[in-house]
Chains A and B, each alone.
Chain A
Amino acid sequence: MCGICGCDEAVLTEPAAPVHGQHHHHTDGGAVAAGGTRTIELQQKVLAKNDSIAAANRRWLRAHDVAAVNLMSSPGAGKTTLLERTARDLAGQLAISVIEGDQETTLDADRITSAGSAVIQINTGAGCHLDAGMVARGLDALAPPAGSMVMIENVGNLVCPALFDLGEDARVVLGAVTEGADKPRKYPHMFRQADVVMLNKIDLLPYVSFDLDRYLADLRQVAPGARVLRLSATSGDGLDGWYDWLCGHLPAPPE
């Protein structure tokens, strides 16, 4: 069984049959040590296989002029709502396709399809995160067009997805004012490597006890390099900043 890739575990659901032929994992380059010794030095990263698949994904994305964003949050922060809204608002301007990661169901994929974007659903089963092998399969099946953006909606979880490079161009962490202001401090591994942190549901600020100053101060400590955006995917407040950022991260036009 391939534990990192999850080939035997994750279930891929899409409108058409998956194309598995270009699957580009299982590329570990390690040499077998000579026998005879009792201790064999390996000095190998445990996640080397995932990292090599992620590097292959990155090369594939570059070669096909496609950008990819790894969108992560806790469950219920509003990832799918944000993607639905983004797909509708940017229809005609930006081709977006989505890799949906959830433990079970195609509910999110159905919502994205209704919003007009191509989508592939990956059900991780017991898995708590997407890994690079799953994304490789998703890219094979989606075949996103040149000049487009692939949004990878990770499994709702602020812990595990932080460790797995998927080959994305940028990591976006979505918080929400409904989930408490202490998340950056509680989950520093996730926030530390974010390129963008978005705080969602700001239209609810008058109704919840969310300490915005503390949240922003903690973010400056945990993720001083991250771009911080405040928005509401429901009311539309602040979405312009997100769209500007997205359009600024599109791949160069194909020649």
Chain B
Amino acid sequence: MHELAITEGLVDAVLERLPGRQVVAVRLEIGALSGVVADSLRFCFDLVTDGTALQGAALEITEPPAVCHCRVCARDFEPDAPIALCPCGSAEVTVVSGQDLKITSVGVA
């Protein structure tokens, strides 16, 4: 359940960047290959924000698909599973995007 530590990191990061502000929304981007489960993070968010300037804030999560580049056939593709395999069958792939776990913006009162 690393989502708990990640949620704590998320709240700390917002509090440090915006000290003293009442936060009403947090917008997160969870890449398909980030290894983080959005539902678990939502579950932790209310617990971790309780008593902070983020208490009651809406958590808006977008989950962009991953993009990989195949080093064999040179095409870019969206893997449909955590195991990134190119449609050509190659496993020699580079993850171009989709591993990020990012706070894109916050809404303040």
Contacts and interface: CB of A to CB of B under 8 A. Distances in A.
Interface of A: 1-4, 6, 28, 30-33, 35, 37-50, 126-129, 131, 159-160, 162-164, 185, 188-189, 192, 220-222, 224
Contact of A220 (B91, B103, B104, B107): B91
Given A3-B7, A39-B106, A50-B9, A224 B18 contact: no
A182 to B, nearest CB: 12
Contacts of B106: 39-40, 42
B21 A35 contact: yes
Contact of A4 (B12, B35, B107): B12
Interface string B14-35: 1011110100000010000111
A97 to B, nearest CB: 25
Which bucket holds chain B's interface residue count? 35 or more
B5 A3 contact: yes
B107 A39 contact: yes
For the complex of A and B, 9 pairs with smallest distance between CB atoms: A3-B8, A160-B2, A4-B9, A189-B35, A221-B91, A188-B82, A42-B103, A224-B91, A46-B101
B13 interface: yes
A226 to B, nearest CB: 11
Contacts of A221: 83, 85, 91
A1 B8 contact: yes
B100 interface: yes
Given A42-B105, A42-B106, A163-B35, A188 B5 contact: no
A131 B35 contact: no
A48 B84 CA distance: 25
Given A32-B17, A33-B18, A163-B2, A44 B8 contact: no
Nearest to A2: B12
Contacts of B5: 3-4, 6, 127-129, 131, 160
A44 B12 contact: no
B108 A46 contact: no
